[in-house]
Amino acid sequence: MRAVWISKHGGPEVLEVRETPDPVPGPGELKIRVKAAGLNFAEVTARQGLYPDAPKPPCVVGYEGAGVVEAVGPGVSAGRVGERVFYLTRFGGHADVVCVKEAQAVQMPEAMSFEEGAALPVNYLTAYHMLFEIYRLRPGAHVLVHMAAGGVGTAALQLCRTVPDVTVYGTASAHKHAYLREQGCTHPIDYRSRDYAQEVRRLVGERGVDLVLDALGGGDWKKGYRLLRPTGMLIAFGFANVSVGGRRRLLHLARQFVRVPVFTPLHLMNDNRAIAGVNMGHLWDELELLRRESEALVELYSAGHLRPQVTGRYPFSRAREAFAELEEGRNTGKVLLLPD
Ligand SMILES: NC(=O)c1ccc[n+]([C@@H]2O[C@H](COP(=O)([O-])OP(=O)(O)OC[C@H]3O[C@@H](n4cnc5c(N)ncnc54)[C@H](OP(=O)(O)O)[C@@H]3O)[C@@H](O)[C@H]2O)c1
């Protein structure tokens, strides 16, 4: 099989395509011929050496993809061979063959393309989990979505649209605002040229927002918390602020960690606000939960509510360009790696 390897921590130049023997499906596993694999911001930070959960290089990362079941391991019905599936895989996803547990693969509806399937699992499960499992998004809510033009951001905008009268404030570079509106954002905000917190406050008034989805981290968690109305919730689900210019900068890292606010239960009680954390990578053993959420997403897709937006497609041999697109913040929606 061929896979995109991170040979050591560093810039895009450390990525290499290598050939190794195909894996053999173990008990309860499916062997999948990959048609498209998803690239996520987490994998960019894994390459930079800033993602604590990632395996040590040399390694193959990648959390998701879509393809066709080519073989099954002991205990799995041979009837699954030939099935079109999207799947989660804990690393090893940037390869043209993967083996995953049967429960981690979901049959795709006929209308779903492999590219759409590969764009769905991480981004849409994360957004769905935050909006409907951790929070209970209700009609009339006001939601602030950071990194709104990215993969999770796009999924969050589309999912907010499934609930009536939700007002969404989305932060993104100005040239991505037309895209944001198409995906359902009510108020795109150019966080690069103005203070987004002041802008949200101006738009929403003293009422404040009900929900903040924040994968920026550091001082932004404090700003988001202050924007919440009583009963509001901030969900912390990433720390993108630690990644700058593709390089690890110790002083920058230290500054970001110093800015992380400390909240006590007393603060939260007296403010009537909530803070939640989400790391889908740590819900790995919650197969029932992930299956239920995946099925809900398939239903929403089939009803025409979700349309994964793939805006970057790169063969494995050009993986460095794919990583650079995400790293430099040029992407809108999803970037995929395609077997050559
Ligand atoms: N906890 C979980 O389970 C989980 C799951 C998935 C993703 N995440 C996290 O969610 C975040 C978004 O992931 P994604 O895959 O959707 O990202 P993505 O598609 O790469 O989108 C990132 C976009 O965010 C914007 N951005 C704003 N501030 C940024 C900053 N400080 N650093 C980098 N980008 C910044 C950039 O666009 P503009 O600046 O041009 O607007 C960039 O294009 C990441 O932090 C990721 O680690 C967490």
My answer on whether 45 and 185 are in the same domain is: no
For residues 220 and 195, give the distance between their C-alpha atoms in angstroms, rounded to a whole number.
Answer: 11
DSSP 206: G
Q: CATH number for the domain including 244?
A: 3.40.50.720
- Count how many domains the chain has: 2
The residue nearest atom 9 of ligand 1, judged by CA position, is: 238
Residue 286 lies in a domain: no
Residue numbers of the chain with a pLDDT score lower than 50: 246
The pick from 45, 48, 147 for probing ligand 1's pocket by mutation, whose C-beta has the most ligand atoms within 8 angstroms, reads 147
Residue 8 lies in a domain: yes
My answer on whether 269 and 226 are in the same domain is: yes
Residue 328 lies in a domain: yes
Residue 298 lies in a domain: no
What are the helix (H) ranges across 106-249?
114-119, 121-128, 151-160, 177-183, 196-204, 219-226
What are the helix (H) ranges across the chain?
41-48, 114-119, 121-128, 151-160, 177-183, 196-204, 219-226, 250-258, 265-271, 287-302, 319-327
Residue 292 lies in a domain: no
Residue 301 lies in a domain: no
For residues 264 and 197, give the distance between their C-alpha atoms in angstroms, rounded to a whole number.
Answer: 23
Give the pLDDT of residue 247: 53
Residue 137 lies in a domain: yes
Q: CATH number for the domain including 23?
A: 3.90.180.10
70-101 pLDDT, tens digit per residue, is 999 999 999 999 999 999 999 999 999 999 99
Q: Closest by alpha carbon to 46, among 95, 101, 87, 4? A: 4
Q: How far is the CA of 275 from the centre of ligand 1 (A)?
A: 19
Last-in-domain residue among 262, 281, 300: 281
User: Is the separation of the CB atoms in 13 and 325 below 8 Å?
Assistant: no
My answer on whether 8 and 26 are in the same domain is: yes
My answer on whether 17 and 94 are in the same domain is: yes
Query: To 5 degrees, how large is the angle CA 177–CA 180–CA 181?
Result: 90
My answer on whether 86 and 171 are in the same domain is: no
Domain residues for the domain of 143 are: 123-281
The structure tokens listed for 160 are 């907010």
User: Is the separation of the CB atoms in 95 and 3 below 8 Å?
Assistant: yes
* Contacts with 88 (C-beta within 8 Å, 6 or more apart), sequence order: 63, 64, 100, 104, 121, 122, 125, 290
Q: Which residues have CB under 6 Å of ligand 1? A: 40-42, 122-123, 126, 147, 149-153, 172-173, 176, 215-216, 237-238, 240-241, 243, 278-281, 326, 329, 331
Q: How far is the CA of 63 from the centre of ligand 1 (A)?
A: 15
My answer on whether 83 and 210 are in the same domain is: no
